[in-house]
Amino acid sequence: MENKDIILSAKDVEIEFSLRGKKLKAIRKCSLDIYRGETLAIVGESGSGKSVFTKSFIGMLDSNGYITNGEIMCDGRDIAKFKTEKEWRTLRGKKISMVMQDPMTSLNPLKKIGVQIKEAIELHRGVKGAEAKDIAIEMLRKVGIPEPERRYNQYPHEFSGGMRQRVVIAIAVSCNPEILICDEPTTALDVTIQAQILDLIRKLKEELNMTVIYITHDLGVVANVADRVAVMYAGQIVEYGLAEEIFFDAWHPYTWALLSALPQLGEKGEELEAIEGTPPNLFVEIKGDAFAPRNKRALAIDFVKEPPFFDITETHKAKTWYLDPRCPKFERPSNIVNYREIIRRKVY
C-alpha cells in the first residue's frame, strides 16, 4: 500500500435513470480512487447504488441509465465519455472484467462450458482454434476444476453452483484483466463453498496481479477479503478507509447501523439493533444527510445541510457532521467503540 498507484479514479460521478419519464438519481456525486493491487470492498444495502456505480466502470449500465456528470479516469482516458460499444470493447476483458452474482444465470445453458471460455479468449486475446482451447483448459485447471479436459465438453447444467461460479471466474480472468469486479460473487452459494471461492479469487489475484473490487452486503465476506472498504448509502459513499478502520473505528451512523445489526453481535434473547425505516426515495431531491431520517441520534443540521467528507486519518474519511469541530460533544454507541472486544468475546 506504500506507493499508491491509482489505477482507476472516479470523480463526482452522477448517474441517472429515466423511468417512465421520471428521473431517478441513482448515484449522487461519488468519488473514489482505486489503487493498483488492492482489494476494495463496496458495502451497502440493495438499492444503495453499489452495483450501478461499479457497472459504470465497465459500460454495463442498463440502457435507460446515463452518466450525467463527473469523470472516470482509467489509462489516461475518461471512460465516462465512452458512447459506443466499440470503445468499451477496448477496455472490457483486457483491462476490466466482471464476475456476476448468480452463476445459474450468467452462463449460456445451450453452450458447452469450454466453448464459452474459448469465445472470450478468441475475442480478446487474438488466438484461434486449438490454441484458444488449450488456454481455456488451462484456465479451468487454474480455477480448480478437476479433469478439465473432460469438463471442457460439458454443459452448465452438469456443474454444481460452486463449480459454475468457478467457470464464470475462469471466463472473467481468461484475458488477464487488471481489474476484476466481483458483484456479490458468493451470495448464491453455501458457506463452505463461499469460503473456497473467496480463497480462489485471492489466489488468482496474487497470481495475475489483479486489482479486485468486491461488491457485497455481507460484512463477514468484507472482513475476509478487503484491504479497503467503502460504505455506500442512497447513491453516495458515506465512509471509506482501511478495513480495520471501518470495523474498529467507524464514524458514519450508517456504518454503525450496519455493524450493530449483525447477528454475531446479538445476545440470545435480546433484540437485535435493526435499522428502522426504509432507504430514501431517489426520485426526489435529498436534502441534508440521506441517512438522517433513520438515524436516532441525528443532529439538527443533518436535515438541512449535506455534510462534507472529514478526515479521520490519512486513509479514513467519513461524510458526517459528527466529525465537525463545531459538533456538540457526543459518545459513539458503546457497541461500536467496543466492537473489537465484543466480537472477540463472541467468537472465541
Partner 1 sequence: MMEKEKLIEVKDVQISFGSGRKKFVAVDHVNFDIYKGETFSLVGESGSGKTTIGRAILRINPTSAGDILFKGQKINGKISKKLDREVIRKIQMIFQDPQASLNERAKVDYIISEGLYNFKLYKDNRDKTRKVQEALKGVGLLPEFASRFPHEFSGGQRQRIGIARALIMDPEFVVADEPISALDVSIRAQVLNLLNRLKAEKGLTYLFIAHDLSVVKYISDRIAVIYEGRIVELAETEELFAHPLHPYTKALLSAIPIPDPVYEKQKKLLVYDPSMHDYSVDQPAWIEIKEGHFVYGNKAEIEGYRKELE
121 binding partner 1? (CB under 8 A) = no
259 binding partner 1? (CB under 8 A) = yes
341 binding partner 1? (CB under 8 A) = no
192 binding partner 1? (CB under 8 A) = yes
**String of contacts with partner 1 for each residue 195-224, x by CB under 8 A:** xx--x-----------------xxxxxxxx
157 binding partner 1? (CB under 8 A) = no
Report the run of H or E that residue 70 belongs to, with start and end: strand 65-74
Q: Which stretch binds partner 1 (CB under 8 A): 21-29, 111-119, 265-273, 299-307?
A: 265-273
In whole angstroms, what is the distance from residue 242 CA to residue 244 CA?
Answer: 5
Distances (CA, A) of 327 to 55, 316, 321, 342, 348: 37, 19, 7, 28, 38
Question: Among 214, 215, 233, which residue's Cα sits nearest to residue 28?
Answer: 233
Nearest distance in Å: CB 269, partner 1: 8
In whole angstroms, what is the distance from residue 33 CA to residue 13 CA?
Answer: 12
Closer Cβ to partner 1, 46 or 153, answer by number: 46
In whole angstroms, what is the distance from residue 321 CA to residue 238 CA?
Answer: 11
143 binding partner 1? (CB under 8 A) = no
Nearest distance in Å: CB 109, partner 1: 19
Where residue 288 falls (left for φ over 0; alpha for ψ -120 to 50; beta otherwise) is: left
**Site for partner 1 (CB under 8 A): how many residues?**
43
Nearest distance in Å: CB 163, partner 1: 13
In whole angstroms, what is the distance from residue 124 CA to residue 127 CA?
Answer: 8
Closer Cβ to partner 1, 171 or 226, answer by number: 226
343 binding partner 1? (CB under 8 A) = yes
What 3-state DSSP class applies to 68? Answer: strand
DSSP bridge partners of 32: 10
Nearest distance in Å: CB 124, partner 1: 33
193 binding partner 1? (CB under 8 A) = yes
Closer Cβ to partner 1, 127 or 223, answer by number: 223
3 binding partner 1? (CB under 8 A) = no
- Centroid of chain to Cα 144: 24
Binder among 87, 131, 190, 324 for partner 1 (CB under 8 A): 190
Q: Which stretch binds partner 1 (CB under 8 A): 14-22, 91-99, 138-146, 191-199?
A: 191-199
Q: Which stretch binds partner 1 (CB under 8 A): 110-118, 148-156, 240-248, 298-306?
A: 240-248
Enumerate residues 6+ apart whose C-beta is below 8 A from 224: 195, 198
Could you say which residues in the range 6-65 bind partner 1, by CB under 8 A?
45-46
Burial (CB count <10 Å: 0-12, 13-18, 19+), residue 109: exposed
Closer Cβ to partner 1, 10 or 219, answer by number: 219
Nearest distance in Å: CB 45, partner 1: 5
What 3-state DSSP class applies to 303? Answer: helix
Distances (CA, A) of 27 to 48, 57, 93, 164: 8, 13, 25, 32
In whole angstroms, what is the distance from residue 245 CA to residue 249 CA?
Answer: 5
272 binding partner 1? (CB under 8 A) = yes
Burial (CB count <10 Å: 0-12, 13-18, 19+), residue 176: middle
Binding site for partner 1 (CB under 8 A): 45-46, 161, 190-196, 199, 217-224, 226, 243-244, 247, 257-259, 261-264, 266, 268, 271-276, 278, 340, 343-344, 347
